Each structure stands twice: as C-alpha cells, then as structure tokens.
Structure 1
C-alpha cells in the first residue's frame, strides 16, 4: 500500500498519542507512534476470541483487555452463550471514537451485552478500577506481545505477579488467553509458575501469510481448574 494515510482522528493521552488512520480501505491504529494493528488481516484478533470461546462450555461473562479495532470484541458478541462483555481500554479517545462511530469497524459495539470502560486492564483484574469480576474468559490483546510493547508500562502484565492476579479474577474453570505477535517462551514460563494443581497452561502457534511473508503469532492460555466433580 503506497498511498499516504489519511488521519481520521488523533489525540494525546497520559500514555502517549493515539491515532486512527485510513489508507485506502485499510483502517490503522497507531499508539504513541507505534503501529498497533490494521484491518489488512484481522484473523488473529478473531481467533483470539474463537479459540477461547471454543474451550469454555459456558462463557457467560467475558473481559477483553484492549479495544483495538473491535474485531475481538465483535467475535465474542457473535457467540450467543455470552451474556455480557466488558472491554477495558487504556486510551479514552479510542473509546470515544468507537461510541461516535468514527469508523464503521468500531461502530455499534456498546449495547445491552457490551460495556466499554476507559481503564487499565491490570487495574481491572486487580479490582482497583472498572467492573468487578470474576469472568469466565479473560482475553488480553493490549500489546504486540511481551517483547514488542506498545506501552513500556505493560511489561508487568506479562510477569508472574500480574498473571497470578489474572488467575484470581477468573471464575472457577475460567480461561485466560493472551495474544502475542511472536512466540514468547518467557510468558509461557511465567504462566506455569502461577499454575496450581489442576490448572492447564498451553501455547498455540498461528502461522499467518501477510504481505508476502509467513509470520508466527501465538496464543498463550491458562485454564483455571474446575471444582472437583465438574461443579
């Protein structure tokens, strides 16, 4: 795509600038000068949702960390078993643009089954902000992964203390799934350190063909053990 982007909106936040750009038919999200995502291929955002939903028998309450361009949340809402989705997004302007319908890709998410919250997902998981848990599913897509951060402050989210907090925010039998733009053995190891008897930690590698290259993305999951007897 050689044509220059057209900026739809730009705003400064305490965590840096956030901008929405249109390049032809493609919508781009840029955060603090770092490319975050676009609509060239949204399959991994959708797979984050569908992989998690397919592994839970009753995902009634879901927390999505990171609004992005809305594709993960929309895929969650497509599942009729989901009663309510909370979306925690650090960038207030992005939430405002979604509510305004600034771009069709972001429009129409909020409603009876979905609430957008301007909040740090780490604070939400810890019970310091936003809606209260527990959740059946927690989906995290707030960075390009633990080694390619959009916000340097998010590094702690991928370490054992924060992952233990995320485990505590899961309902019994709940599932945490973290998206990464690369294989992240450190994250896999950190998940294993917080696992308790009966918990299951897993890595799924996704190969995506994009702009002439094969890229390996990854999903890291943590399933909290159900009650004995399946209750």
Structure 2
C-alpha cells in the first residue's frame, strides 16, 4: 500500500493533509488526516451516512439543518438526499478543506457544494451556533472531531460541555434534535445531553474501516416536551 500527498494546509490549528492511498483492490482512495490523525476517507463513509440518517429520522420535518464539520462531504450529501430538507448550513473551520471541495481536488466536492440548498460557513462551529437565532434549525449534526474522548483539537472539548449544549438547544425549533458522532462511548456526554435536553439516547453502530471491524457511537438528544428553556450559562 502506498500514499501520495494530494494537498496540504498548515494553520494555527496544525496540519491538514489530503492524500491518495493506492495499492489496494479497486480505485484509489482519498484520505483526510488532521495533525497526523486519521479523520475519514472515501472508501468507508457509512458512519457519516448513519449520522445523517439518525438525525433526519429523529424529526418529522427536517427543513432546516446545520452540519458541524464538512469533512469530505458525505454527511452533507446524505442530508441533501432527503427531499424534506430545504436548506442546509455546513460549518467548516478549515478554509483549505472548503477550497479542496470547491476546486475539484476532492472530485465529488464541486457538484455537492453547487446544490442551491447548501450554504458553507467558514467558521468555528461554536461561533456559528452562538450567532444563530432561536429556533433556527430543525436538526443540528455535530461531526467535528472523533468525539469527546478522542479529540483532534483540544479546543473542541467545549463542544461537548453543558454550556454549549444549552446554546444548541436554543437554536432548535420545536420538535428538533441534536445528533453527535463519537468514535468511542461517551457516558458523560450522554448524561449531559439528558440533563440539557431532557431526552437522550445512545446508538452503537458497526463499521468496516481499513480492513478492521470498528464501532462508533451516535448520541441523539431532543428537548423534552414542556421542559423550560435552558440558559446558555447553564
């Protein structure tokens, strides 16, 4: 198996590398790494699809969706595949990754981002959510890291803490839902979601990743009916 570097970006957050994996059966695979840590590739994206499916299934009318983390676009693609979705904001902190999608460095990116329902916001997802008005979204999906136990960027720890969860809850329309992806079990996150929203559940999924059987977890939270609104201060 060999690797060829396709693109690289270095910022204050570290190094982002897109590389091509060759020498396996089938077509070459694009792989994304952040600070040396595997993030995702184009060979196996069932986890991204499951994240979108779980979120879209949790509400009756997911008209307005926010996706935290563009990645290689598979979560966004799955969201836009649902005819009920009228608008999707996808928030990505790395400008280079957005450009790689837009300029065809990632081959499927150009067509995906051309969808009129999609809007890319280049920002930290915490800032984008905080600036959204109350009841702005029916669904919020967070896939910006490997979960609270396997952070790529230490600053992302705040995205799993109670104050930010309260901010997310404020942005949800009645009947809305938050779905968070994690590479490992996160019992504290589940407890915090339950405390912040009133209802939360853990879903376990199996995936085949680079010839290994792996598991990942989805955490789904919905505001309990009649529960008083939480403040952003917690």
Q: Tell me, yes or no, whether TM beats 0.5.
A: yes
Aligned to 1:201: 200
Please give the per-residue CA displacement for 1:25-69, whole angstroms capped at 9, x wherever unaligned. 111111122221112311010010011111211000000000011
- Distance across 1 between alignment mates of 2:99 and 2:10: 13
Post-superposition offset of 1:132: 5.0
Q: Partner of 2:108 in structure 1?
A: 105
Q: Paired residue for 1:16?
A: 14
CA RMSD of aligned residues (A): 1.7
Give TM-score scaled by structure 1 length.
0.90
3-state SS, counterpart of residue 109 of structure 1: helix
How far 1:183 sits from its partner (Å)? 1.0
Residues 1:88 and 2:66 are matched in the alignment: no
How far does the alpha carbon of each residue in 1:131-153 deviate from its partner, in whole angstroms, 9 at most, with x for none? Answer: 65610000000001111111110
In the aligned structure 2, how far is the partner of 1:150 from the partner of 1:67? Answer: 15
1:182 aligned counterpart, secondary structure: coil
Distance 1:104 1:132, change over 3 A: farther
**1:211 CA displacement:** 4.0
How far did residue 221 of structure 1 move? 0.9
When structure 1 is superposed on structure 2, of 13-22 and 105-114 the one drifting more is: 105-114
Could you say what secondary structure the match of 2:219 adopts?
Answer: strand
1:181–1:218 CA contact under 8 A, matched in 2: yes
Cα offset, 1:105, TM superposition: 3.4
| Distance in 2 between residues matched to 1:37 and 1:212, nearest whole Å | 14
Instruction: Tell me which residue corresponds to 2:128.
Output: 124
TM-score, L = length of structure 2: 0.89
Q: 1:91 and 1:164, CA in 2 relative to 1: closer, same or farther beyond 3 A? A: same
Q: Find the aligned partners of 2:146 and 2:108 in 1 and give their Cα distance.
A: 20
Q: Is contact 1:173-1:227 (8 Å) kept?
A: no
